[in-house]
Structure 1
Amino acid sequence: MPRTQIIIEDHVVPQLLTSAIEAYEIQHKSHLNGKSKHRLETYGLLWGYALPARGDDVPVRLVAVLATVETSALRHEHWVLPDNESLLMKRDFFREYWPQLELIGTFHSHPYGSLAEVNGEKGWRGSPIDDEGNGDFAHWPDVHKSVCSDMDMLAHVVVTITGLGRKGTAGPERLPGGESPTGYVLTAGARKLWIKGYCTKQLKELVSQVRKDGDKPDKKNIQVSYHVEENIFLEIPSLQQRFADEYLRK
């Protein structure tokens, strides 16, 4: 079976990139005289539609046509925490007024202080589960279960950003090595950005419950679990052309 495809349409790209850039570069204050912070993570939702697999050649496709930013999310330099009440409110609001769109995924940013730090930590990747049970690989299945349990698959995009000492000249490319199908790296002004995709998949399994007084099954229940898939194909059709054109003009 081919890789699940995440397709991000052209007009969604500036929404992803500018929200990550703003959280990274612009000072944020809770009030006028408050202490300001920058290099924060940000969080948002992807809206669009899901197309089912067809035969053995056409995979599931999750198509993003719109992105919204979670202004209520708690933002930190090393983590971001969305408010589930906000996610559910937006989901229901779209269902009522824009029923042609559904919640098909999430995105969030990874800010880093230097290119060396990104490369050293492979910061374009989703964060693993830590000792306290936190991290992207824990959050993604959780948000799928709590907000989109009616969806078989959900897309998740990480936008990593760092500043450069001067404006770069590198055109957009696929991620290196075996990660090539899953994302891109590009330079935009004095910034370097990485975009990498993941999916969570809902799995259903029939589980037999055994009677207490014997070995014969009493009844069967459906057990639902959610798993992160890394083997996906992220497609942003306009990205390479748009940024490559800018690169060639210089």
Structure 2
Amino acid sequence: MSTIFIEDHVVPQLFTSAIEAYEFLHKSPKGKGRDKLETFGLLWGYSIQPKGNQSAKIIASMATVETSATRHTHWVAPDYDSLRMKKEFFGAYWPNIELVGSFHSHPYENLAEVNSVTGWRASDGDKEFYPHFHKEIASEQDSLAHLIVTITQLERRGTAYPSRLANSEAERGYVLSADWRKIWLRAYGSEFDSDSGDYAFTDDVTLEIPSLERRFS
């Protein structure tokens, strides 16, 4: 198990990138543009190996958005050359910061659609992508964190204080409302499986964002 900590100033980076891709038209010279798109980015920070009875910790202190990613309403595909470039760039000039994971958004038309498909959860494609991303980009690391930022519009404006997800997902995510938006944050992981000798998807994580309730209460 890994405990994923998201530092305070990373939260607006996650939220605003998802909101921008959702609410604003992404135009091209030959097209009308589209909104309600997925977006993709990287998580940076540092990792702490397990000590005693404590689980491994992954601390995200920064997020960067992949502007070169191909975006769609139902999927997003990062450019792997861009991912490698950023990792090498950080390694050369900010060696105190390492790649610790990824994030992407799930946009939905309305709340009913999110609830009908439990849209805050990882898709089958996500579960396949996380180990592949880990193997291709950060094979030297035992564990990575992966966040899904799900967003939809509400029919009426309101504020719902941040709360944990229900039941077995309580330790793995949050949900909140802000103005006309409802946002979910759900954490997953990928790790090296010594038994198979390959990288694997895992749901055995805990997500901690200590500042979230203070900001949105």
> TM-score, with normalisation over the residues of structure 1?
0.85
Larger radius of gyration: 1
Counterpart of 1:65 in structure 2 is: 61
In structure 2, what is the equivalent of residue 238 of structure 1?
211
1:164-191 CA-partner distances (Å, limit 9, x unpaired): 1121231110001110000000001100
Flag structure 1 segments of 5+ consecutive residues without an equivalent. Answer: 129-134, 206-222, 245-250
TM-score norm. by structure 2 comes to 0.98
Q: Equivalent residue of 1:151, what SS?
A: coil
Question: Which residue of structure 1 lines up, in the alignment, with residue 110 of structure 2?
Answer: 114
Cα-to-partner distance string for 1:92-124 (whole Å, 9 max, x where unaligned):
000000000000000000000010000000000
Tell me the amino acid that sits aligned with residue 163 of structure 1.
Q
Per-residue deviation, residues 140-196 of structure 1 (Å, max 9, x unmatched) = 000000000000000000000000112123111000111000000000110000000
- What amino acid is aligned across from residue 241 of structure 1 in structure 2? R
Q: Secondary structure at the match of 2:64?
A: strand
User: Residues 55-89 of structure 1: CA distance to partner in whole angstroms, max 9, x if unpaired?
Assistant: 12x11000000000000000000000000000000
Q: CA deviation at 1:36?
A: 1.0
Higher relative contact order (CA 8 A, sep 6+): 2
- In structure 1, the partner of 2:36 is 39
Provide the residue aligned with 1:82 in structure 2: 78
1:20 aligns with 2:10: no
Percent of aligned positions that are identical: 53
Give, in angstroms, the shift of residue 34 of structure 1: 2.3
How do residues 83-98 of structure 1 correspond to structure 2 at under 5 angstroms?
83-98=79-94
1:1-250 map, 5 Å:
3-31=1-29, 34-56=31-53, 58-128=54-124, 135-205=125-195, 224-244=197-217
Q: Give 3-state SS (helix, strand or coil) of 2:144's partner.
A: strand
Work out the CA distance in 2 between the residues paired with 1:170 and 1:34: 37
1:132 corresponds to which residue?
none
For the Cα contact (< 8 Å) 2:37–2:74, is it kept in 1? yes
Q: Measure the CA separation in 1 of the matches of 2:121 and 2:64.
A: 22
In structure 2, C-alpha distance between the alignment counterparts of 1:166 and 1:42, rounded to whole Å: 25
- Equivalents in 1 of 2:48, 2:122: separation in Å? 25
Letter in 1 for 2:47: A
3-state SS, counterpart of residue 10 of structure 1: coil
SS of 2:120's partner is coil
Amino acid at match of 2:127: F
Following superposition, the deviation at residue 235 of structure 1 comes to 0.4
Moved over 3 A (4+): none
Alignment length (residue pairs) = 217
